Amino acid sequence: MRAVSHYCQKCLAANPLGQELCGRCGTRLMLVVEPPAARFEEGGLAATHEEHLLERISALENRLMRMTDKLEQTLDLLLRQAKNAYFDHALIDTLITVLAETNVLDAARLNKLWRERCQKDTAEQEAAARREKLRHKVLAAYKGADAAAFEREVQEGFGLLALKQPAQGVRKLERAAALHPANAPLHAFLGEHFFEAGKSTLALDYLERAVASDPRNEKAHLLLGLVCGDAGQAARAKKLLRDSVRRAGATFAAHYGLGRLLAAEGKWSEALKEFKRAAAASPSAEAHYVLGCVNHQLGRDRMAARHLRKAIEEDRFYAEVFYVLGLVLWRVGKTEEARAAFEVVRAADLKEPRYRSSARRILRTGEVPQGFRLFGPEDGETKQLITGGDKRLAAALRREALAAFEDEGPPPSSAAR
């Protein structure tokens, strides 16, 4: 019986089967090859072919072994880095605890600011990736004779947006839009930008062009409905928003917009149904706050208090919620609890100072104002029916509307024109 050895691929020394390293030169041994006698027997050509295949497989085996070693080293490095990060986090957490115990800082506020910073960084990275994707779509959609001028304006515009110069970037993109009035992706982007910036007239113009060029753009339909509501075109706005729900499904923005339009008409029960659908589509502190306010408007104070407390659970810094909760508790006779809620409002740093001044007046005089108005437009007004009034609600609406159907286009960079 012929003995089969494992020959070293470097020095050709024979080694016993199962040995890992060559006994002569120390090279790592690869797969077994045919013994030399095989090439002199019948079928020598086949044996040579098999040897060639085995050599190829041996080379692959060697590379895989090297890759395995590198992966093991990488894993070890990652584990060490994770361990170091854990200890760093533990140290920082301990320092925060000590500083909070000595009243040097507010741990809850620090945690809130840190989460907001992380979310902002993540959002910026995602927005940059979506802008790059949109740039390619805009250039691909161009059909005209002056492609060079159009591409130059688009490239410069998106370049300025990446450099956080949105005002200049948007002006460049507007020039590009003038060169190609049928470029649906570009007009949709500009419409979204002006919607986010609160420029209703410009947003309406660009969104109408986007919808005309691409009727399948559901996000543009939704934003156009909201902008029409703020422009005073209530009937058209309701039709567009209902079409958005029918065609693309429920969204917070569509149902909230319908609720605001119905509330402006004094149809509070119908508005409540829409606000419930908005909350079901995207539960949030703002959604519960609105439901609390509308239930209070309808005299359903127990239900109002339940939603307002849910809003506080979501965000205990939402001082406007405490104001409405104070009104609800005062009306049901829980005066002490109501005063505690108004104290929170009085001590808060609010962007809506009318709540703080009203809370101070209530605590000083003991008289609660009647006819609390959730929404901004006064009776008879026809503009800003959806985003008017409470600034936080308007910001939440814009955020939810721009996040809807994200695969159809990126939300623009925040900036006024």
Of 22-36, 59-73, 231-245, 363-377, where does the model show the most confidence? 231-245
In this prediction the pTM is 0.70
1 part of a folded domain: no
Please give the tally of structural domains in the chain: 1
Q: With contact defined as beta carbons under 8 Å apart, do 406 and 191 qualify?
A: no
- Is 80 exceeded by the pLDDT of residue 282? yes
Three state DSSP letters for 208-227: HHHHHHCCCCHHHHHHHHHH
Give the span between the Cα atoms of 13 and 291, in whole angstroms: 84
200-227 residue pLDDT tens: 899 999 999 999 999 999 999 999 999 9
Domain assignment present for residue 245? The answer is yes
How far, in Å, CA of 122 to CA of 116, rounded? 10
Domain annotation covers residue 5: no
In a domain, 197, yes or no: yes
**Residue 86 to residue 111: CA distance in whole angstroms:** 17
Instruction: Answer whether residue 202 is part of any domain.
Output: yes
Residue 252 domain-assigned? yes
Q: Are 247 and 276 in contact (CB under 8 A)?
A: no
Confidence of residue 62 (pLDDT cuts 50, 70, 90): confident
Judge whether 247 lies within some domain: yes
CATH of the domain at 202: 1.25.40.10
- Does residue 175 form part of some domain? yes
Question: What is the span of the domain harbouring residue 240?
Answer: 106-266
Q: What is the pLDDT of residues 297-318, one digit of tens each?
A: 999 999 999 999 999 999 988 9
CB atoms within 10 A of CB 163: 10
Tell me the C-alpha distance between 91 and 74, whole Å: 26
